[in-house]
């Protein structure tokens, strides 16, 4: 048995009075893609956003239970939130490049984390863009505004931006929901490529996407983790009746 990258234990999450996640237990393994699926409002995004504490931004959000990254609890102060977020990167539903040049977008993270030397930055920008398979598209327009790129390019730029701070885990919150089919398949290929070096957790409303790229899948419903297991198994022989109903499209 491989060691967990992230261990979620008895996690409960509340938004003020609303109990959004109930007693969640998940083991996320290194160099795998773990997918969270379920109808909207089931809590899958909330869980994802707990993993790098983006939920801290939401007023009234409260958590108990534990989330451990390589055995260190991420909520009890041993790990500063900025360090956590550097180690656990995130790609959002809507591509969100900053209103600055392509280069400055990718260099943003490294600069924040104290890298000032031009040569080093150049290198990081190049490798990150290459890793995100967009270097060839963008190498001649590094100084142009990132807002001029197409949606698919923007999303890959955002992945490059996340990779530039050398994270260990990459969280993807429905990364293709705003993209066309061609861009979507490019992002999926990219995810498969990236899992060699990174641990990936992806939230998707697209079950086919989960089947295509993930190793493990968790199915959420109304704040419960109904079922979690090998993706092949979950989709071919679901253990829970509700999972079956969902994957055969009978509700949700």
Q: Give the nearest distance from C-beta 114 to another protein in angstroms.
A: 4
Helix axes 118-131, 102-112, angle to 10 degrees: 110
Shortest Cβ distance from residue 252 to another protein (Å)? 26
152 vs 238, beta carbon nearer another protein: 152
Letter string b/e over residues 156-183, b meaning 16 or more CB atoms within 10 A of that residue's CB = bbbbbbbbbbbbbbbbbbbbbebbeeeb
Residue nearer to another protein on the CB measure, 106 or 247: 106
How far is 19 from 190, CA to CA, in rounded Å?
Answer: 35
For another protein, give the closer residue by CB, 154 or 183: 154
Compute the least distance from the CB of residue 84 to another protein, in Å.
Answer: 8
Residue 252's Cβ-count burial label (10 Å; 0-12, 13-18, 19+) is middle
DSSP state of 59: T
Cβ proximity to another protein: between 34 and 52 the closer is 52
Least Å distance, CB 161 to another protein, is 7
Residues that bind another protein (CB under 8 A): 52, 54, 57, 80, 82-86, 89-90, 92, 94, 96-100, 108-109, 112-114, 147-151, 154, 158, 161-162, 165
């Amino acid at each position: 048995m491989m060691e967990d990258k992230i261990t979620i234990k008895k996690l409960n999450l509340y938004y003020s009075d609303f109990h959004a996640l109930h007693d969640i237990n998940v083991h996320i393994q290194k160099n795998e893609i773990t997918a969270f699926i379920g109808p909207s409002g089931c809590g899958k995004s909330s869980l994802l956003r707990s993993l790098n504490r983006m939920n801290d931004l939401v007023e009234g959000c409260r958590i108990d239970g534990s989330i451990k990254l390589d055995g260190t609890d991420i909520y009890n102060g041993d790990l500063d939130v900025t360090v956590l977020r550097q180690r656990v990167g995130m790609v959002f539903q809507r591509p969100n490049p900053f209103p600055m040049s392509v280069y400055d977008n990718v260099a943003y993270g490294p600069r924040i984390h104290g890298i000032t030397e031009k040569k080093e930055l150049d290198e990081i920008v190049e490798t990150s863009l290459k890793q995100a398979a967009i270097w060839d598209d963008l190498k001649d327009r590094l100084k142009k505004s990132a807002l001029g790129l197409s949606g698919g390019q923007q999303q890959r730029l955002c992945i490059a931006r996340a990779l530039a701070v050398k994270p260990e885990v990459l969280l993807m919150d429905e990364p293709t929901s705003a993209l066309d089919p061609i861009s979507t398949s490019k992002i999926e290929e990219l995810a498969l490529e990236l899992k060699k070096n990174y641990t990936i957790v992806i939230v998707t409303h697209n079950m086919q996407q989960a089947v295509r790229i993930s190793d493990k899948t968790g199915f959420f419903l109304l704040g419960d983790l109904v079922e979690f297991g090998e993706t092949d198994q979950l989709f071919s022989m679901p253990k829970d009746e509700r999972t079956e109903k969902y994957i055969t499209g009978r509700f949700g």
